[in-house]
């Protein structure tokens, strides 16, 4: 990613911001998004370094100073922050789970509350989240994915198609 960022920073004097954004998506974004929901919780230091490189990339794309605030730049460029990109990918994965688009081996991984509880409640549509004793276990996909799904339930579960979910701006 650092090499790709160097290439974009060399090209920022030649191309407009829209072309730099295209370069970002074709070079850097692919490296970040590949398997993000698997490596996100593996090494916090790796995630932090990737987050710093992504911020440097957004500053380069928008041709701002090296220590400028990045929140408005992410919004104006319509590029998701790393945390938001992670939640976006988890929501797509959970959409596939809720619509039975994943392999059969995933069918018994997550359970809905109505499968566990005997009487109906307001939370019957939510996925069941087991209690955890440690922060490490709480962040693993088995426990973290249902939390994110429950947070965005009205957007993810009630969307008709996967392509519509990808186009929605839920995060």
**pLDDT digit of tens for each residue in the chain (171 aa)?**
889 999 999 999 999 999 999 999 999 999 888 888 878 776 778 888 999 999 999 999 999 998 889 999 999 999 999 999 999 999 999 999 988 999 999 988 999 888 888 888 888 888 988 888 888 788 788 888 999 999 988 888 778 888 888 887 776
Q: Is 120 left (phi over 0), alpha (psi -120 to 50) or beta?
A: beta
Sign of CA dihedral 37, 42, 44, 50: negative
Q: Which residues contact 54 (CB under 8 A, 6 or more apart)?
A: 28, 32, 81, 82
Cα dihedral sign, 81-87-89-91? negative
CA distances from 142 to 57, 155, 161 (A): 32, 21, 24
Are 153 and 126 in contact by the 8 Å Cβ rule? The answer is: yes
The pLDDT value recorded for residue 72 is 94
Structure tokens at 19: 């072309």
Q: What is the dihedral of CA 97, 102, 107, 111, to 10 degrees?
A: -10
pLDDT at position 102: 92
Hey, is 160 helix, strand or coil?
coil
Q: Strand, helix or coil at 101?
A: coil
């Amino acid at each position: 990613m650092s090499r790709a960022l160097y290439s974009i920073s060399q090209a920022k004097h030649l191309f407009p911001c829209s072309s730099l954004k295209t370069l970002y998506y074709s070079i850097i974004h692919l490296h970040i998004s590949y398997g993000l929901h698997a490596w996100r919780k593996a090494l916090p230091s790796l995630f932090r370094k990737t987050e710093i490189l992504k911020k440097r990339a957004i500053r380069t794309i928008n041709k701002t100073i090296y220590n400028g605030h990045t929140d408005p730049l992410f919004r104006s460029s319509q590029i998701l922050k790393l945390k938001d990109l992670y939640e976006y990918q988890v929501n797509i994965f959970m959409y596939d789970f809720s619509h039975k688009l994943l392999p059969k081996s995933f069918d018994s991984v997550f359970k809905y509350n109505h499968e566990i509880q005997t009487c109906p409640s307001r939370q019957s549509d939510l996925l069941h989240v087991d209690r955890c004793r440690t922060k490490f276990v709480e962040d693993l996909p088995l426990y973290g994915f249902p939390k994110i799904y429950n947070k965005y339930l009205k957007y993810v579960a009630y969307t008709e198609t996967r392509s519509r979910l990808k186009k929605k701006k839920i995060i």
